[in-house]
Structure 1
Amino acid sequence: MNRLQVKWLSLLIVSSSVFLAVIDIFIVNVALPSIRKGVNGTESDMQLIIALYLLGYASFLITGGRLGDHYSRKKVFITSMLLFTVSSLLCGLAQTAFQLNTARFVQGVSAAFMIPQGISYIHILFPEHKERIKALGIYGSIAGSASVIGQFLGGLLPDIHWVVEGWRLLFLINLPIGFAAALLAARYLHDTPPQQSGRFDISGVMLLTIALFALVFPLIRGRELGWPLWSICSLAGSVLLLLFFAYDQRRKLAKQTNPLINIRLFSYRDFNIGLCAVLFYFMVQDSYFLINVIFMQTGLGFSSSETGILFVFQGVGYVVASLVSIPLVKRYGKRVLQGGVVMMILSLMMHVFFFRSDVLPRPVLLATLFFYGTGCGSVLPSLLTMALKSIPVHFAGAASGTFSTFQQTSIALGIGVVGGIFFSILGSQTSITAYMGAYQTATGVNILFLLLVSFFLYILPEEKEARAGS
């Protein structure tokens, strides 16, 4: 195999990390009712299946990038890929919700270590600009395809019963991909020399992880337990911990001791506005799947496979719009994202109107899901670009890591807040009227969040203004 072939094979190997990381979000979303039945879990257990994965991912993402610099990217990639694969096996073998959620957290942590190595390898393998753009396009298309495949398999596999229960296959299918990727990486990925560039901010990682847990865990578990005192204290404590984390990072930056997050990033106005848009957009993203899947399968009686097929149309809309929107953003800027948010809001209104037991015309239902996906695809691919457009080049890596951490935390927060509202209103009721009331209220909250996204995009400076301001 010549050098050119090895280079493109290496791209596919490192892209397996984002494929597995993304598919394990979407494959679970559609299958939550089946998983809940399989492990005899509660409503909050199902929220934690998504949230703990994302919290593990968010807490260690920045550290994962630095670990690759410190110990060599090849070693970290292979180790984290094997850890992801083993934790997938543990998810597939779990007998209780606690075992499953513990393994899901480990999955998220291992994803946080392997994803930054893949992105770094792309910059190393493709130093020439045009080739790198092509490679990043392939990487992005693999991530987009994983979201569609995940939704399809998440609906299909729980209805298949072979040697094991169908829902366990959701995790066990990671095994051949993960082990193959690790073996190919050991054979074909070239190593990168370690860069002993400062010490790890271990205390910062631990402080951030504890603060995020203290914030999200009581939002999910507290409602089901009747908001005991510990849950209120935890929420209050999370605010104090996050404030202390900011103080700690500022102090370490002043002492030049390599903090986890560079606080100077927050001196850029459009970066802060972009993060506000990110917060509310990603609070909608996975909470949308949570409440729609529960409503469709448990409320309206759709099968798992039927739900998965329906959401494929949403995924296709996303992929199509993401390909079309990127060149449009170069020409029209943030107006493309604003238009996408408007499409999402209109689509959610259509969801509330059409998603009923007595009025469910399939062509309209499919068009509504496709329309929503089109809105998402018009916003998400360029949201990072909008947030980072005035950030200096030497801050780009730190800003990207901070953005991704904020993104994953926002998704987990949305699961806790919007999911909590849905389940609180539903309570122990099982009638279609009760499901409709809970669904309409939770969807209304998501519409409110999208209106806030639209506001922050409106006040976000255009590129010329951002450059002048910086």
Structure 2
Amino acid sequence: MSRQISKWFLLTIISSSIFLAVIDIFIVNVALPSIRKGINGSDGDIQLVIALYLLGYAAFLITGGRAGDQFGKKRVFLIGMIAFTVASAFCGISQTAFQLNLARLLQGISAGFMIPQGISYIQVLFPNPVERIKAISIYGSIAGSASVIGQFLGGLLPDLHFIVAGWRLIFLINVPLGLASVFLAVKFLPSQSSQAKEKFDYSGVLLLTLTLMALIYPLIRGRELGWPLWSLICVGGSVPLLLWFVYDQKQKLNRGGYPLIDMKLFAFKDFNIALWAVLFYFMVQDSYFLLNVILLQIGFGISSTEAGLFFVLQGLGFVVASLVSIRLVPRYGKKVLQGGILIMIIASALHIVVFNSVDINRFIAYPVLFIYGFGCGSVLPSLMTMALKSIPTKFAGAASGTYATFQQTAIALGIGIIGGLFFSLAGENPSTITYLKAYQTAMSVNMFLLVLVGLFLVLLPEKKAVAASANFSH
């Protein structure tokens, strides 16, 4: 029956995974103050609401892709979507910060399994290169739209109160959407038989997860607890864990095994340089939302709905620039990204000027948010292209998985480090003045990191990308 169904309709079904995964990042970003109040949580708790989702996603993204090859894309897609829907329901009914953050971790893990199947299905459903490019563009557009919709709903829903508290709706809204996706996938999505002969690198997944948790969790929780001994031991222990992981992956590769990450990738100089740019860029990416949401809603007392409107302007700027940049990058290469970074730096400085008191001039603030989003949209969709353009085709799948894992880890790291700096400077009993000072310092750090991104882009060889490819994971 599935053969009679339009493959463009099937694209809509598989795109539901990226839509739900992306919307669940941006809808939470704007609703953080309402979530903190609803669960009576701390600053560290709301940092973990973001970070644990990303860590679960990062640790299992590569494994999720291989699971689809080994057990069938449809089966893994359905399991991932069902698990994501159930985890969303648990998020919505959580009564404590611990319950919510555990459910968020499970959400991230399930996203790590369902999203790679959507990308793999595109390769199968659209063998024609021209149609595949069109399908990828649509897939990327859906991800971009989800970011804008998420920011709007993240502002609107917490101010609504029907049967349950408004902040719970930002999670519960996933339930009917997830169930609809499961129904359509069961009915129409074609089954794909097992293709892989590779075995799972279970120990690699465990080591990577332990390394990430040992670094990120104590960075967030240790600060508000006064840096107890266990937090310092964990942060210090993450270094030998990382070295052990690298050694383990190299040994498996040398023995002809199937490591989680192909260490041969790091022999490509361009890839290494680009990963440094990715690290610093994505440390800024979500910490930006955290800083501005807390300042606007808690520091200035702006309603959740109005804060959401601010970020919708940022999202619109992103979408507009994305549509323009993916056409310019094949001609002008990294210069487009360098221009976008410069725009982000200037717009960040303007944020500090515009958001300097409770009396915000909206006529100036809205364009500043749009300009910042325009800068992001000039960089993000093509950053992956810059990272992978020199990678041989046989390494393309491994490189894209490694890139996405590195990206999500960098975002969580930014939430932990820059968010931690912000809350530390704001103090235990913050006022509008202390929030402002903390905001100005943290945004200045973000500007410095963006300068580093620009420098690493300069170091990349001057080669024009053959084609721009959207970054679908965030």
TM-score by shorter chain over 0.5 = yes
Partner of 2:271: 271
CA positional deviation for 1:430: 2.9
The one-letter code of the counterpart of 2:426 is L
Q: How does 1:383-462 map to 2 (within 5 A)?
A: 383-462=383-462
Structure 2 equivalent of residue 219 of structure 1: 219
Kindly indicate whether the alpha-carbon contact (under 8 Å) linking 2:156 and 2:305 is maintained by their aligned counterparts in 1.
yes
Query: Is the Cα–Cα contact under 8 Å of residues 6 and 188 in structure 1 kept in the other structure?
Result: no
Aligned equivalents of 2:4 and 2:350: distance in 1? 49
How far did 1:8 drift? 1.4
**Following TM superposition, by how much is the alpha carbon of 1:357 offset from its aligned partner in structure 2, in angstroms?**
2.1
Identify if the C-alpha distance between structure 1 residues 358 and 58 changes in structure 2 by more than 3 Å, giving closer, same or farther: closer
In structure 1, C-alpha distance between the alignment counterparts of 2:258 and 2:147, rounded to whole Å: 35
1:340 aligns with 2:353: no
Corresponding residue for 2:59?
Answer: 59
Could you say which residue in structure 2 is the equivalent of 1:122? 122
The residue matched to 1:402 in structure 2 has which SS? helix
| Structure 1: tracts of 5 or more residues without a match | none
Q: Which residue in 1 is equivalent to 2:131? A: 131
Aligned counterparts of 1:209 and 1:77: Cα–Cα separation in 2: 22
1:195 partner SS: coil
Give 1:380's aligned residue: 380
CA distance in 1: counterparts of 2:358 and 2:161, whole angstroms: 31
* 2:73 counterpart residue number: 73
2:470 aligned partner: none
* 1:394-427 alpha-carbon deviations (Å, 9 max, x no partner): 0000000000000000000000000000000011
Report if the CA contact (8 A) 1:281-1:449 is conserved.
yes
- C-alpha distance in structure 1 between counterparts of 2:83 and 2:432, whole Å: 42
Q: Is the 8 A contact 2:334 2:386 kept in 1?
A: yes
Cα offset, 1:196, TM superposition: 4.1
In structure 1, how many angstroms separate the alpha carbons of the residues matched to 2:303 and 2:260? Answer: 45
In 2, distance between residues paired with 1:3 and 1:84?
27
Once the two structures are superposed, residues 420-455 of structure 1 have per-residue CA deviations (whole angstroms, 9 ceiling, x without a partner) of 000000112332211110000110110011010000
Write out aligned runs for 1:180-259 (5 A): 180-259=180-259
Deviation at 1:465, TM superposition (A): 12
Secondary structure (helix, strand or coil) at the match of 2:6 reads: helix
Shift in Å at residue 2 of structure 1?
8.3
Inter-partner Cα distance in structure 1 for 2:438 and 2:460: 33
Separation in 1, partners of 2:388, 2:55: 23
Letter paired with 1:273: I
Contact 1:300 1:356 in 2 (8 A): no
Partner residue in 2 for 1:352: 352
SS in 1 for 2:259: coil
Alignment-mate amino acid for residue 395 of structure 2: F
The one-letter code matched in structure 2 to 1:215 is L
Cα RMSD of the aligned pairs, angstroms, is 1.3
Paired position in structure 2 for 1:365: 365
In the alignment, the residues of structure 1 paired with residue 194 and residue 3 of structure 2 have an alpha-carbon distance, to the nearest angstrom, of 23
The one-letter amino acid paired with 2:115 is: I
Question: Counterparts of 1:379 and 1:141 in 2: how far apart (Å)?
Answer: 15
Distance 1:282 1:270 in 2: 18
Partner Cα distance (2:359, 2:324) in 1: 32
Would you say the 8 A contact 2:334–2:464 is kept in 1? Answer: no
SS of aligned partner of 2:227: coil
CA drift of 1:7 comes to 1.2
Aligned to 1:13: 13
For residue 113 of structure 2, what is the amino acid of its counterpart? Answer: F
- Cα distance, 1:142 vs structure 2: 0.2
Cα deviations across residues 276-301 of structure 1 (Å, max 9, x unaligned)?
00000000000000010000000011
Q: Aligned letter for 1:48?
A: L
Aligned to 2:469: none
Q: Distance in 2 between matches of 1:35 and 1:399?
A: 36
- TM-score, normalised relative to structure 1: 0.98
Q: Distance in 2 between matches of 1:76 and 1:2?
A: 18
Letter of the structure 1 residue corresponding to residue 355 of structure 2: F
Task: Kindly state the Cα deviation for residue 5 of structure 1 after the two structures are TM-superposed.
Answer: 4.1
Amino acid at match of 2:132: R
Q: Which residue of structure 1 lines up, in the alignment, with residue 472 of structure 2?
A: none
Distance of 2:80 and 2:19 partners within structure 1: 14
CA distance in 1, matches of 2:256, 2:346: 49
Aligned to 2:293: 293
Distance 1:79 1:17, change over 3 A: same
Q: Distance in 1 between matches of 2:345 and 2:77?
A: 39
Shift of 1:198: 2.0
Among all aligned residue pairs of Structure 1 and Structure 2, give the percentage whose two residues are the same amino acid: 64
**TM norm structure 2:** 0.97
